[in-house]
Structure 1
Amino acid sequence: MELVSVIMPTYNSALTLKEALDSIIHQSYRPIEIITIDDASNDNSLAIAKSYAQQQSTKDVQFVTLSNDVNAGAGISRNKGVEKASGTYIAFLDADDIWKPEKLTTQINAMKSQNATVCYGAYEIFKTSPDQPISVHKVFEKLTYDKLHKTNYLAILQAFITLLYWVK
Structure 2
Amino acid sequence: MPDEEVEVSIIIPVKNGEKFLSFCLDSVLAQVQVAVLSLEISIYDDGSIDETSKIISYYQIKAKENGIKFTASYGAISGGVGYAKDKAVVQSSGRYLCFLDADDIMSSNRIAKQYKKAQEIERNGNLAFIGSCFERLPKNATERYTRWACNLTEEQLYTQIYTAFGPTLIAPTWFISRSIYNQVSGFNKSIKNGFPEDLDFFYKALSLPIKLCRLEESLVIYRYHSECATFGVNEKTIWDIRIKQIEKDILSKWSKITIWNAGKQGKKLYK
Quote the residue 1:17 is aligned against: 21
**Aligned Cα root-mean-square deviation (Å):** 2.1
| Selected match of 2:175 from 148, 157, 160 | 160
Say whether 1:118 aligns with 2:129.
Answer: yes
TM-score (structure 1 length as normaliser): 0.86
Q: Which structure has greater helix proportion?
A: 2
Secondary structure of 2:106's counterpart equals coil
Which has the higher relative contact order, 1 or 2, with Cα contacts under 8 A spaced 6 or more apart? 1
Distance 1:45 1:31 in 2: 25
- Where in structure 1 do 4 or more consecutive aligned residues deviate above 6 Å? none
Secondary structure of 1:70's counterpart equals coil
| Selected match of 1:85 from 81, 87, 92 | 92
Distance 2:102 2:176 in 1: 19
Amino acid at match of 2:30: H
Counterparts in 2 of 1:1-168, with a 5 A limit? 3-28=7-32, 29=34, 30-58=37-65, 60-115=67-122, 116-127=127-138, 132=139, 134=141, 135=143, 136=146, 137-138=149-150, 140-141=152-153, 142=155, 143-144=157-158, 147-148=160-161, 151-167=166-182, 168=185
Distance 1:2 1:39 in 2: 24
Distance 1:2 1:19 in 2: 24
Whether the aligned pair in 2 keeps the contact of 1:88 and 1:162 (CA below 8 Å) is yes
Q: Residue 68 and residue 139 in structure 1: after superposition, are their counterparts in 2 closer, same or farther (change >3 A)?
A: farther
Amino acid at match of 1:155: I
Distance 2:134 2:170 in 1: 8
Secondary structure of 2:161's counterpart equals helix
Amino acid at match of 1:92: F
Whether the aligned pair in 1 keeps the contact of 2:130 and 2:169 (CA below 8 Å) is no
1:43-93 per-position Cα deviation (integer Å, ceiling 9, x unaligned):
010121122112331473110111112011121100011111111100111
Where in structure 1 are there 5+ consecutive unaligned residues? Answer: none
1:6-61 per-position Cα deviation (integer Å, ceiling 9, x unaligned):
11011111011111001111111242100111111110101211221123314731
Distance 1:15 1:165 in 2: 32
Whether the aligned pair in 1 keeps the contact of 2:6 and 2:40 (CA below 8 Å) is no
1:69-118 per-position Cα deviation (integer Å, ceiling 9, x unaligned):
20111211000111111111001111110000001111111122233421
Measured after TM superposition, the shift of residue 155 of structure 1 is 2.1
Distance 1:61 1:90 in 2: 15
Sequence identity of aligned pairs in percent? 24
Where in structure 2 are there 5+ consecutive unaligned residues? Answer: 186-271
Distance 2:6 2:62 in 1: 23
Q: Residue 102 and residue 139 in structure 1: after superposition, are their counterparts in 2 closer, same or farther (change >3 A)?
A: farther
Measured after TM superposition, the shift of residue 133 of structure 1 is 5.8
Q: How many residues matched?
A: 163
TM-score (structure 2 length as normaliser): 0.55
Whether the aligned pair in 1 keeps the contact of 2:15 and 2:48 (CA below 8 Å) is yes
